Amino acid sequence: MTSSYGLTRLVLTDFRNYGSAQLTCDVRPVILTGPNGAGKTNILEAISFLSPGRGLRRAKLSEVTRNNEESKKPEKEQNSSLSWAWGIASTLSTPQGSWDIGTGLEIQEGKERRIVKIGGEILKSQTLLRDYVHVLWVTPQMDRLFQEGAATRRRFLDRLVYGLDSMHVTRVTRYEHYMRERSRLLKYGGADRHWFDALEARMSAEGVAISAARRQFIDHLLQAKAWTLGTFPQAELALAGQIESWLGAYSALETEEKFREVLKASRQQDRESGGVACGPHRSDFTVTYREKNRAAAFCSTGEQKALLISIVFAAARLQNLQGAGVPLMLLDEIVAHFDERRRAALFEEILSLKMQAWMTGTDIGLFTSFNNKVQYFRVENAMVHEKSVLIKM
Ligand SMILES: Nc1ncnc2c1ncn2[C@@H]1O[C@H](COP(=O)(O)OP(=O)(O)OP(=O)(O)O)[C@@H](O)[C@H]1O
Ligand SMILES: [Mg+2]
């Protein structure tokens, strides 16, 4: 049996190495194989743009535009004031019906703008995509997640939280906006004391809500005992930060008050530093390999990858348990790193969650145990070919 949630059509235009490519599929998991540089990761990146944010490479929007002499637009189109730099069109099948979802970079009079359309209607904000699509991914770029700065880990955690609490996207976007606005006013002046008070009140309300949602998500994940995925390691998760420790000792309202006072008291310091001394944007999401009692940063690359898989699948399972459905899952070159038993556990989990997982690899042989429960595509020279493989078992 297959899920009724997943993409059934994906069309790329001037996206990375694709001039124009179309892929039609059903909601079963998808395997993309092909040589290095063929365009496999680019397809996953395109899917990641169907959710709010900058996609799985956190690329600048203009960097995504196909960089190729042949793709230059005809003279007439180049001169027009409106043009598309790149575009993605898709159809998402859900239990409630099908949605046509599109996004792309529009250039109007030299100005770039990301456009998002659902059923042909332009959305006011890309954050509204959260009501339609939830995408999670594990990619080779995330190998350094536990070594890099806390910002990368917070982004990772926030994406997991979106799946259970879609308002979280809005909170994070608003909080970042208020934070930038406060820094701008501190730097250039032009606002009185009351204006700062009002801005800081909003910042503290959104900021405390962000920390509370992150804490609640982690609690649910740990309580749900949604942890066992074959021989994958179990992870201990925690949040470290000032707001979180206040929330451990005080009510949300008292925490907001405390946060507001700190913001008020640190205006001068923040003016000089150009930052904000305290807030959920400074918290860290820490992960420990439970069995070994070792911080993820000190685990081997393979162990870290296994921890990541363990966490994202626990989040997907929790989402499913709570009736929020399962996300689209993008697994870029993940399978090659796991032994036979872990691969089997991962495949079983994908099938039992009825999840449309998009998996890439250079070697189709790694996916044989999926047999015909998945669909195969061959990617070569920026072309996608449907592959009806009969794998000999
Ligand atoms: N803006 C762009 N315009 C044109 N080509 C691009 C652009 N950005 C990236 N590419 C090219 O797209 C090609 C495919 O990249 P992609 O990362 O999808 O390959 P892949 O199939 O995942 O390969 P690998 O197996 O090595 O991971 C690469 O040659 C890359 O240089
Ligand atoms: Mg790749």
pLDDT in tens, 68-115: 765 455 444 554 566 779 999 999 999 889 999 999 999 888 888 999
Alpha-carbon distance 25 to 216, whole Å? Answer: 36
Q: CB of 43 closer than 6 A to ligand 1?
A: no
Alpha-carbon distance 44 to 54, whole Å? Answer: 13
Q: Which of 363, 335, 362 is nearest to 349 (CA)?
A: 335
- Domain 1-133+333-393 class? alpha beta
List Cβ neighbours of 55 (8 Å cut-off, separation of 6 or more): 45, 48, 49, 64
- Closest C-alpha residue for ligand 1 atom 24: 36
Q: CB of 17 closer than 6 A to ligand 1?
A: yes
Please give the distance, rounded to the nearest whole angstrom, from the Cα atom of residue 18 to the centre of ligand 1: 9
Distances (CA, A) of 358 to 143, 160, 301: 19, 18, 22
- Which pLDDT does position 76 carry in this prediction? 43
- Closest C-alpha residue for ligand 1 atom 25: 36
In this structure, whether the domain defined by 135-326 belongs to CATH 3.40.50.10490 is answered with no
Alpha-carbon distance 71 to 73, whole Å? Answer: 6
Please give the distance, rounded to the nearest whole angstrom, from the Cα atom of residue 383 to the centre of ligand 1: 12
Alpha-carbon distance 311 to 294, whole Å? Answer: 16
- Which pLDDT does position 226 carry in this prediction? 57
Backbone region of residue 58 per phi and psi (left: phi > 0; alpha: psi in -120 to 50; beta: other values): left
Residue 76 tokens read as 């007439």
Give Dmax (Cα) for the chain.
Answer: 74
Q: Which of 142, 161, 160 is nearest to 152 (CA)?
A: 142
- Closest C-alpha residue for ligand 1 atom 27: 36
- Closest C-alpha residue for ligand 1 atom 2: 16
Cβ neighbours around 26 below 10 Å, total: 14
Sign (positive or negative) of CA dihedral 266, 270, 273, 276: positive
Q: CB of 67 closer than 6 A to ligand 1?
A: yes
Structural domain boundaries in the chain: 1-133+333-393, 135-326
Specify burial of residue 249 (Cβ count, 10 A radius: 0-12, 13-18, 19+): exposed
Residue 20 tokens read as 């124009």
- Closest C-alpha residue for ligand 1 atom 12: 17
Q: CB of 139 closer than 6 A to ligand 1?
A: no
Amino acid at 370: F
Rounded to 5 degrees, φ, ψ at 297 are -60, -25
Find out whether 130 and 169 touch, Cβ atoms under 8 Å: yes
pLDDT in tens, 209-257: 999 999 999 999 988 765 678 889 999 999 999 999 999 999 999 999 9
Q: Which residue's entry shows tokens 């996916």?
A: 367
- Which pLDDT does position 108 carry in this prediction? 85
Q: What share of the chain is helix, strand, coil (3-state, %, to 5)?
A: 45, 25, 30
Choose one of 12, 16, 23 to mutate for the ligand 1 pocket test, by most ligand atoms within 8 angstroms of C-beta: 16
- Which pLDDT does position 392 carry in this prediction? 37
Alpha-carbon distance 371 to 386, whole Å? Answer: 15
Stretches where the chain sits below pLDDT 70 are 1-3, 69-82, 225-227, 388-393
Residue 329 tokens read as 């899952």
Rounded to 5 degrees, φ, ψ at 35 are -70, 170
Please give the distance, rounded to the nearest whole angstrom, from the Cα atom of residue 37 to the centre of ligand 1: 5
Alpha-carbon distance 169 to 53, whole Å? Answer: 9
Q: Which residues on adjacent β-strands are paired with residue 330? A: 137, 358
Backbone region of residue 118 per phi and psi (left: phi > 0; alpha: psi in -120 to 50; beta: other values): beta
